[in-house]
């Protein structure tokens, strides 16, 4: 992997990240808007990890830690650059962050229909816990 740089996002990255997710991320979230990403970066400045090559955004991961659990979201790699170690580098950076913070186990949100992502997560050592089901309630209209 030549010249891959992993860094935390800053407020000036928000529009670039949102545009990147429209082409590289699968599915959408209620928080996939400017206010949601700005709030994330302000609340936890090290959570949104960006992978860059030659100054260009090529991957993202959100590595959130709430003091209790380590959560991974929005692992996304530019489609033409997948299977080159970018996702692995992002997960390594996320796991190192979790270890520094005292995290004990990471979990990831992976769409059931996204088989490509499921293969990537399995290759990184993650596996589904079929005995759990995610329950959600939108807090806004």
Tell me the CATH number at 49: 3.40.630.30
Q: Residue 96: is its pLDDT beyond 70?
A: yes
Q: What is the CA radius of gyration of the chain?
A: 15
Average pLDDT for 63-76: 94
Is position 137 within any domain? no
Alpha-carbon torsion angle 8, 1, 94, 77, nearest 10: 80
Is position 35 within any domain? yes
For the chain, the farthest-separated pair of C-alpha atoms sits apart, in whole angstroms, at 45
Judged on CB neighbours under 10 Å (0-12, 13-18, 19+), 66 is exposed
**Residue 10's closest CA among 53, 54, 57?**
57
Quick: pLDDT tens for 48-58: 999 999 999 99
Residue 15 lies in domain: 4-123
């Amino acid at each position: 992997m030549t010249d891959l740089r992993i860094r935390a996002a800053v407020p000036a990255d928000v529009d670039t990240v949102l545009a990147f997710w429209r082409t590289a991320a699968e599915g959408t979230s209620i928080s996939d808007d400017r206010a949601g990403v700005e709030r994330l970066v302000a609340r936890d400045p090290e959570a949104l990890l960006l992978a860059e090559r030659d100054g260009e955004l090529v991957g993202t991961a959100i590595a959130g830690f709430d003091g209790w659990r380590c959560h991974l979201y929005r692992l996304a790699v530019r489609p033409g650059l997948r299977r080159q170690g970018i996702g692995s580098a992002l997960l390594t950076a996320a796991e190192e962050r979790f270890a520094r913070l005292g995290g004990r186990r990471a979990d990831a949100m992976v769409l059931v229909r996204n088989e490509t992502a499921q293969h990537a997560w399995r290759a990184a050592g993650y596996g589904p816990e079929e005995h759990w089901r995610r329950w959600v309630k939108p807090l806004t209209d």
